[in-house]
Amino acid sequence: MIVGIDLGTTNSLVGVWRDGEPVLIPNALGKLLTPSVVADDNGALLVGQAARDRLVSHPQSGTAHFKRYMGTGRETRLGNHVYRPEDLSAMVLRSLKADAEAFLGEPVTDALITVPAYFNDAQRKATKAAGQLAGLNVGQLLTEPTAAALAYGFATGDEESVLMVVDLGGGTLDVSLLHSFDGIMEVKATAGDTWLGGEDFTDLIASTFAAEARGPNGMPSAASRPALHASIRRQAELAKRQLSEAETAAMDVNLDGETVHWELTRERFEQLAEPLLARVRQPLERALRDARMGPARI
């Protein structure tokens, strides 16, 4: 059985092609998204939501966002063991594989994994290695924008068109220009930033809160109070999501027995995020320039 896997910076998910359409597979908790987090709980390794919960209460016991370090020599210590980024990714893949086997009722041996279009050769090799460590035969890596364009093509038919796919994920930004014709998807240009994603917008809110919403004795440093700053970051993530639907979001964080209340408007958030949004614009312009196209062609 072959499955398709989106190995993401923040969340990952697995799906299968069944009865002429893609079907996303829920995990053991009934959720489609599995957090890309690994944590140590007194010698036992946790993966997914349990690891994310552990990361909030014991931030030094776990790790996330390791996709950003794929293909590098970075090492992370959890408990008594040291892991490379591909080792950590393999744990997430192994969890997705188990969920797929439980859902399908048969062994899963092969996988197609999506990667950012801007991943270099070392990052792609590390992703394949992670799949092999998870017990999967990774026959092919498919770029995330191409996967999105193919899905779009299935929905719209064979009409010829030029597509720009902008994939701002949790940790990476991909921009691809693709020409769709006669069932063929031709990549005209790619650009991106492997160090820009939704996590950076969350960090922006968290750091602004820490700078502005000080308690009576100031805000302790992250080094001295890691659990406090993990809680702040979790609140920042919730506030970011709330601002997608509301004009104002509030954060309430317990600091030494007192609740620190802080509010952020959507307008203020957009002002704070201008440097990040400027970084989003650069790959858009570069892709158009490389393909020698103007926006009117899209």
Catalytic residue among 86, 87, 99, 167: 167
The answer to whether 167 is a known catalytic residue is yes
Q: Residues near 76 by Cβ (< 8 Å), separated by ≥ 6?
A: 63, 66, 82, 83, 84, 85, 88
The answer to whether 193 is a known catalytic residue is no
Angle at 60 between CA 57 and CA 62, to 5 degrees: 85
The answer to whether 182 is a known catalytic residue is no
The answer to whether 144 is a known catalytic residue is yes
At position 144, the amino acid (one-letter code) is: E
> Pairing between strand 11-18 and 34-35?
antiparallel
Partners of 167 in the β-ladder? 174
Catalytic residue among 144, 193, 200, 237: 144
Q: What is the C-alpha end-to-end distance of the chain, expressed in Å?
A: 37
Q: Which residue has the tokens 């719209």?
A: 156
Within 13 A of 106's CA, how many CA atoms are on the CB side? 7
Q: Residues near 156 by Cβ (< 8 Å), separated by ≥ 6?
A: none
Show which residues are catalytic. Answer: 6, 67, 144, 167
